[in-house]
Chains A and B, each alone.
Chain A
Amino acid sequence: MLKVKVTQILPNPLQIDIECAPGELHALVGPSGSGKTSVLRTIAGLNNASVGKVECDGQTWFEANELRGVTRSLAPAERSCGFLFQQYALFPHLTALQNVCIPLQNSGLNQAKRQSIALDWLNHMGIAELAQRIPHELSGGQQQRVALARALVKKPKVLLLDEPFSAIDAPTRQSLYKILAELRKELRIPILLVTHDLREADLLADHITVIDQGIGLQTAAPRVLFQKPRNSRVAELVGINNIFEGIFTSGKLSWDRSHHIFNVMDKGKIPPGTPVAWVIPADGLSVHDSQVSDGIPVVVEQISALGQIAVIQLLANNSAHTITWEASAAEVKRLGLELGTKTYAEIDGSKIHIMPLRSINDPRLFTS
């Protein structure tokens, strides 16, 4: 089990609390510069936080508190991390085989044995025939496999993957997804994956932590994250289009007390009259060409066709609120939607998720 709970203010803010079980793939998702890589670097010992603890497999790798400062910090070499760097960071003067041999340098094994283990790993990655090539003679995908073999050859206790799929083409990415899925079953170690691609995280991860400005905003299973984001910033970061502000009073949600009142389930935690942020998940919205009960009259304000799908902006009648609807091109054609078309949007109140309304500019407020 990998446990990371660290805080720091300077030079860059970092406030993370994650746990990752053996065999689990935990994705860290956030915009560029949000501090995702800093988390991996802190785990690997390449950066130190000012306060907190990093623990793996029962062993404390890093510990610091405000009173006594850093009380324990193992060097990167002592931490048993497999780290896949974003740009691979292969040793450019060494062959693929020599690169994979490097972590075994202090293993006590003789050279022949080290080479044999390294070759096994290259074979595992399907690139044994490239063992004698140096990195600049390899394609991006091949370099990445060498880097992955190098990260795993010493049987690390945790695997850290920094944006591993960002610089490779789609077919290579698919084959690496497959390798990763197999490794996960085989290795049974915690795997942390940093990515800015939410679809990728959704596809691969058991849990996702959304990070913004160095702060972990929410950790949840992908499905929960998309349906119940903790706050509007998370909703924004996970790509939910329909985020609104409104007023919530005893099970009734409205945009501004008068227009379009929805019946929404809540746990009774929100005081009456509270301003809230609310989101409509994709499966909570449908559009009809005739009036349905609770349907909101809307006017098509904009249609952006993107190949087989279209993104449609619907302006709710009598209000300044625009609802975004993603539909297939066939659906748009069936409904005969054009600019200015009057139609009806149906919002499923049971799917609406409401959240405390807080300033988007200060993510620290979201952590409570």
Chain B
Amino acid sequence: MDINAILLSLKLALWTLVLILPFGVWVAHSLQKLGKSKSWIEAALALPLVLPPTVLGYYLLVGLSGKSLFGIPMVFSFTGILIASLIVNLPFAIQPIQRAFESINPEIIEAAQVSGLSQWQIFRLIELPLAWRGITSAAVLTFAHTLGEFGVVLMVGGAIPGETKTVSIAIYDKVQSFDSAGAGALSLLLLATSLIAIAISYGVFGRNPSRRSGWRA
């Protein structure tokens, strides 16, 4: 089994998660306060869902080609596929969190205002815990999706072992070189990971708001 590809995919998924979740929470929370411009921004953020990955990959390749970040080239590098992964995952990270914020009864926020909490306290003590399931869903979806991302990563990063050759690209390579057993093993791994991720999202966090131990008044 291609351990390097597995480790690289995990690294990419974790970095994507770490960077996109705070951004997703901020964007989702900010979107609630927008007026008419909201639907345009939402449409732009959802674009990666409908755009063919190769098209997005092509634009990123053209846009990032020849540019570097802190001396690291932005195409055919880990930084490049991380940027691509962040863009591709925007809708997966933002939409569940946005739905979670939207489902909070506005009276609860008003009760918090009348209770004397500041905007930051309302966000930290009320909204964030109540949106927790949405944030978890976003994390699981982003993680699973990044592990399996193929088109954009291939366009922007190529297939450099240890740098940009993720599990999905390794599977493609193995099929090309008639290594069915290797491709099968990696595919099974991705299948199992995705299944577990979805099961966590659906099962463990339940459907009812539950007591959370993270905060004590």
Contacts and interface: CB of A to CB of B under 8 A. Distances in A.
Contacts of B208: 136
A220 B116 CA distance: 33
Contacts, number: 89
B211 A89 contact: no
5 contacts: A92-B130, A97-B217, A106-B116, A111-B216, A150-B111
Contacts of B111: 83, 85, 89-91, 150
A46 interface: yes
Size category of the A interface is 35 or more
B33 interface: no
A181 interface: no
Interface of B: 105, 107-108, 110-118, 121, 125-126, 129-130, 132, 208-212, 215-217
A54 to B, nearest CB: 14
A105 B211 contact: no
Contacts of A93: 129-130, 132, 209-212
A315 interface: no
Contacts of B209: 92-93, 134, 136
A154 B217 contact: no
Interface in A98-133: 98-99, 101-103, 105-106, 111, 114-115, 118
Interface stretch (A4-12, A73-81, A352-360): A73-81
A75 B115 CA distance: 11
Residue with the highest number of chain B CB atoms closer than 10 Å, among A76, A93, A102: A93
Nearest to B126: A91
Contacts of A90: 108, 111
A114 B110 CA distance: 22
A95 interface: yes
B130 to A, nearest CB: 6
Contacts of A45: 113-114
A77 B105 CA distance: 19
B125 A89 contact: no
Interface in A5-46: 44-46
Given A85-B110, A90-B108, A93-B130, 6 more contacts: A79-B114, A82-B114, A91-B126, A93-B209, A93-B212, A105-B217
Contact of B114 (A46, A94, A115): A46
Nearest to A162: B107
Contacts of A134: 209-211
A105 B216 contact: no
Interface of A: 44-46, 75-77, 79, 81-83, 85, 87, 89-95, 97-99, 101-103, 105-106, 111, 114-115, 118, 134, 136, 150, 154
B215 to A, nearest CB: 8
A91 B112 CA distance: 8
Given A93-B129, A105-B217, A83 B114 contact: yes
Contacts of B130: 91-93
Given A91-B108, A102-B125, A134-B211, A77 B117 contact: yes
Q: Lowest 4 A-B CB distances belong to which pairs?
A: A101-B217, A98-B217, A89-B111, A89-B107
B217 A102 contact: yes
Given A92-B130, A93-B212, A115 B105 contact: no
Contacts of A101: 217
Contacts of A111: 216-217
A103 B212 contact: no
B116 A154 contact: yes
A102 B107 contact: no
Given A111-B217, A134-B211, A103 B115 contact: yes
Nearest to A80: B116
Contacts of A89: 105, 107-108, 110-111
Given A85-B107, A92-B209, A134-B211, A150 B115 contact: yes
A97 B211 CA distance: 13
A94 to B, nearest CB: 7
A75 B107 CA distance: 16
A278 B217 CA distance: 58
B48 to A, nearest CB: 32
Contacts of B116: 77, 103, 105-106, 154
A140 to B, nearest CB: 16
Contacts of A46: 110, 113-114
Contacts of B126: 91
A144 to B, nearest CB: 13
B125 A105 contact: yes
A101 B115 CA distance: 10
A102 B118 contact: no
Nearest to B107: A89
Contacts of A91: 108, 111-112, 126, 130
Contact of A87 (B107, B114, B115, B215): B107
Nearest to B111: A89
Contacts of B215: 94, 98
A157 B209 CA distance: 33
Contact of B211 (A81, A85, A95, A114): A95
A277 to B, nearest CB: 39
Given A105-B125, A136-B208, A81 B114 contact: yes
A118 B210 CA distance: 22
A87 B106 CA distance: 11
A87 B107 CA distance: 8
